Amino acid sequence: MKKQAKPRVAFFDFTDCEGCQLQFANIGTTLLDLTELVDIVNFREIMSEAGEDYDVAFIEGSITTDNDVKRIKKIREKAKVLIALGACAAIGGVNGIKNRSSLDLAKQRVYGDKADIINTIKAMPVHEVVKVDYVINGCPVYVPEVLAVLKSILMGKPYVVPNYPVCVECKMNENVCRYEKDQECMGPVTRAGCNSWCVNNGNRCYGCRGLLDKPASDAAKDILTKYGLKVEDILNSFTLYNDSMGEKYDQEFR
Amino acid sequence: MLDREILLEKMRTSPYRPMKAKIIEAEMVTEKEKFFRIQLEDKINLGHTPGQFVMVSIFGYGEAPISICSSPTDKGYFDLTVRNAGVFTNKLHTLGKGDILGIRGPFGKGFPIDNMFGYDLVIVAGGLGIVPLRSLIRYVMHNRNDFGDVQILLGCKSPKEFLFEEETKEWMKRSEIKLNCTVDRADPDWKGNVGLITTLIPGVDINPSRTYGVVVGPPIMYKFVIVKLLEKKIPDHQIIVSLERRMRCGLGKCGHCQIEGVYVCQSGPVFTYADLKNFKGECHEKAS
Amino acid sequence: MKYATLNKKDLNKWLEHLKKSAKLYAPRKKENLFVFRPVKDVGDVVLEYVPTILPPKKYYFPQKEKLLKFKIEPFQTAKAIEGFEDFILFGVHTCDIAGIQCMDVVFRDGPEDPNYLNRKDKMIIIGIECLRYCDKYANCASMGNHVPRGGYDLMMVDLGEKFIIHINSEKGEKLVSKLDYIKEAAEADMNALERCREAKKKVFKEEFIGPLGKVYGVFDKSFGSDVWKDVGKKCVACGNCTAVCPTCYCFDTQDDLELSLNDGIRYRIWNSCQMDDFAKVAGGEDFRKGRDTRQRHRYYRKFKYPVDKFNRYFCTGCGRCTRTCMAGINLVETVNSLLSQETL
């Protein structure tokens, strides 16, 4: 690759836990190699001073207030490349649970008698408000995938998120299937790319990377039922991360 | 060593390792298609059969199967014409003269030119189908006295989608070849036929037992064109098609191009209609 | 020496010996299942086991395998792997050995695949014959793979106090010779082996309701069968069945670049015909759109296509696809449904 001026990278927070930015800090020594390729100008987790100019904007978190909408539009105007970093930004993530009830009820529950003075709108993934160039799924994001996306950005090539289920990677890792152990698992309908990180470490898949383009939800529901889950539990499992996907959610699960 | 032996040796010892090749000409020929003239390292001749394909490599982007559109009689280089239709071809389109590519191949079974010696040919090209057929047409031109009458039917959605326009005009001027064009939708400058390519076939005058019908086009086109050729009484084994599948390894292993038990990258992409009839249901091009 | 014997109490001693001779892989426990792993502690090796989650194919056809090294500027390619190391697969079931034979046939079929064949050259197989069914999912008897049919260097059979070992190659012979605790088999041992095989005939019964020849015939006629619709409806398209199959070898390739964005490696990675986009072309046409057609394809790749091409069934009877299927798609039931439809 021809040497050009290093792209300036900034990180921005919306409604989230900052856990995905923390994963960047966890990249370790490779992060130093990365600074050969990019300039990090705004990064709350590891830098103190905030930069002004940037080419590449990593967005963490969902859009949940009117102010968020204004802010993300401004960032979009400035950034040449905009990346949704992590489940909240990519698919709405757990914030989407808010959308399950009416906004008034949600406000009431969270803020009680102060509900009226709080501005909040439905929880949205970033792509519902502005154009997103790259998506990095996961709660939190998986570091090797972050690096793969970064390379794609630097090469100016699209990053294609796998459209096959987590099971594919999980089997290649020769994990004991969670269903073998009579546990429910979202692996069969969830987009791979995480190298079945959770299951490798003894957990199950919660579906944080969002659903496949064409999840076999009918078959998946049959399986969950077969393993003794009630309809309500199944819905909760399917929607923990996917509630704000709106129509897709309705089509697949209602 | 002969070029052919070098290529075979490479295929035997390192079938996954692409050869270095240089783009010596590159030009956008329509809105979506780009033409490339390519030279292998040491100017090795590809020595392909018309109808075969190569795997083009751009490191970091992967590989894609691309039909060869020049004739093996065009020595010292070969031609590709590529539609921009995805991440890989998008990158390929950014390359130009002097840029380096990786090439593996040639792969697959091409048109049965030896069997076609002495026969009349009806060549039917729909849309991008002219790309592999250009290889055959150029071959026939260069060995014109090996074949009987040659008729070419070209069809496109609209006039601006015609590939190899200049060359087609040259072909039209040649008295030993009959060439007819049609478009689905005309534009104000178009003076030729309007209508589907199937409408041209009834008007073709042939001696069916002495004729090969060669058809390449989008999947949907085959069914209709094959029916018309059958109506003309061309025997099954003299109707030749080339199928588009997702060739990946080129070695009959990876499985992506498989139609039922057949690996298209090895047994195809060229098949006879007699071959197609053996498929039970996964060959969408088979006339029902 | 054609047959040798090894006392069970000396098994670990032999394993230590094998471990010194070459890289040793053997089955061991993982949670409630089994896996092949490099042997660290010979005490972990188990010989009574239900087929491992993945078959040993991962050692001769790895999940993610380097195909070549490349440099973009200046254009350079190089072999990705310089040398392959000798390795022993220990305790391989006869069904999995049949799987290895199938893979050999595929990768030897021209154009040959040197990556596979180079690894295969370095492989020594020590099998263990099953004397009873591993569980209710296996269909090895119908496939004829419940008994050894070649393809190994050594084959062990449990005779109670000791193992009798069939020596089937020079490589194998080297691993049992010059060891004072491995002796040539006596006549009594041979008789015991004979009795053992006789007893097996009562244990293993064909699992399909028809003979194998009939299974082939029924596949020839069942392309349009409703059975595929039922299977497709159940299928969740997770790809487990193809990953665990000892004779599935479809793959995809992928380029990984280093951070320099100039050097990289082209890999081949297991892929599955059960995936959505597996047969989709650039133009958008998908030639196996439904889960039913994809499942049908998997079955035909076991019972029809390879029989036509190689005169060999690519189902080994190991039962893994059924065992691993959370949707409960059962190979024996599927084949039997086809057979019973035929007899209607």
**B94 domain-assigned:** yes
pLDDT in tens, C149-172: 999 999 999 999 999 999 999 999
Q: Are residues B44 and B169 in the same domain?
A: no
**C68 domain-assigned:** no
Distance from CA of A152 to the nearest CA of C (A): 9
Three-state SS for B68? strand
Chain A to chain B, count of Cβ pairs less than 8 Å apart? 7
Rounded to the nearest integer, the mean pLDDT of chain B is 92
pLDDT in tens, B40-49: 999 999 999 9
Output the pLDDT for position B14: 87
Residue B190 sits at the chain A interface (C-beta within 8 Å): no
Residue B61 sits at the chain A interface (C-beta within 8 Å): yes
CB atoms near residue A51 (< 10 Å): 14
Of B84, B107, B130, the residue at which a domain comes to its end is: B107
Strand pairing of C3-7 and C182-184? Answer: antiparallel
Residues sharing a CB contact under 8 Å with residue A18, sequence separation 6 or more, in sequence order? A44, A45, A60
Q: Are residues B24 and B139 in the same domain?
A: no
Looking at the structure of chain C, the number of domains it has is 1
Instruction: State the Cα torsion C89-C95-C99-C105 to the nearest 10°.
Output: 110
Q: Are residues B102 and B201 in the same domain?
A: no
Judged by average pLDDT, the poorest of A229-238, B12-21, B51-60 is A229-238
Q: How confident is the model at residue C245 (pLDDT cuts 50, 70, 90)?
A: very high
Distance CA B264, CA B268 (A): 4
CB contact under 8 A, C300 and B261: yes
Output the pLDDT for position B175: 80
Range of the structural domain that residue B200 is part of: 113-277
Q: Are residues B94 and B172 in the same domain?
A: no
Looking at the structure of chain B, the number of domains it has is 2
Output the pLDDT for position A2: 46
CB contact under 8 A, A216 and C324: no
Distance from CA of B61 to the nearest CA of A (A): 8
**Nearest CB to C324; choose among A37, A177, A187:** A177
**C291 domain-assigned:** no
**Nearest CB to C277; choose among A33, A147, A163:** A163
Domains and CATH numbers, chain A: 8-155 (3.40.50.700), 166-253 (no CATH)
Distance from CA of A154 to the nearest CA of B (A): 12
Of B107, B132, B154, the residue at which a domain comes to its end is: B107
**pLDDT at C8 > cutoff 90:** yes
Q: Are B44 and B7 in contact (CB under 8 A)?
A: yes
**pLDDT at A50 > cutoff 70:** no
In a mutagenesis test of the A interface, which of C29, C31, C236 is the best target, namely the one with the most A β-carbons within 10 Å?
C236
Judged by average pLDDT, the poorest of A25-39, B135-149, C33-47, C264-278 is A25-39
pLDDT in tens, A159-189: 999 999 999 999 999 999 998 888 888 999 9
Give the nearest chain A residue to C257 (CA atoms): A151
**B219 domain-assigned:** yes
CB contact under 8 A, B60 and A158: no
Output the pLDDT for position A252: 53
**B28 domain-assigned:** yes
Q: Give percent of chain B above pLDDT 70.
A: 99
Output the pLDDT for position B227: 92
**pLDDT at A254 > cutoff 50:** no
Output the pLDDT for position A244: 65
- For residue B218, whether the previous peptide bond is cis, meaning omega lies within 30 degrees of 0, is no
pLDDT in tens, C15-36: 999 999 999 999 999 999 999 9
CB contact under 8 A, C109 and B252: yes
**C297 domain-assigned:** no
CB contact under 8 A, C224 and B61: no
**pLDDT at A3 > cutoff 70:** no
Span B192-208, average pLDDT: 89
Residue C64 sits at the chain A interface (C-beta within 8 Å): yes
Rounded to the nearest integer, the mean pLDDT of chain C is 94
Output the pLDDT for position A103: 83
Can you give the pTM of this predicted structure?
A: 0.93
pLDDT in tens, C256-285: 999 889 999 999 999 999 998 898 887 788
Span C196-200, average pLDDT: 94
Range of the structural domain that residue C26 is part of: 3-61+83-203
**Nearest CB to A171; choose among C237, C243, C327:** C243
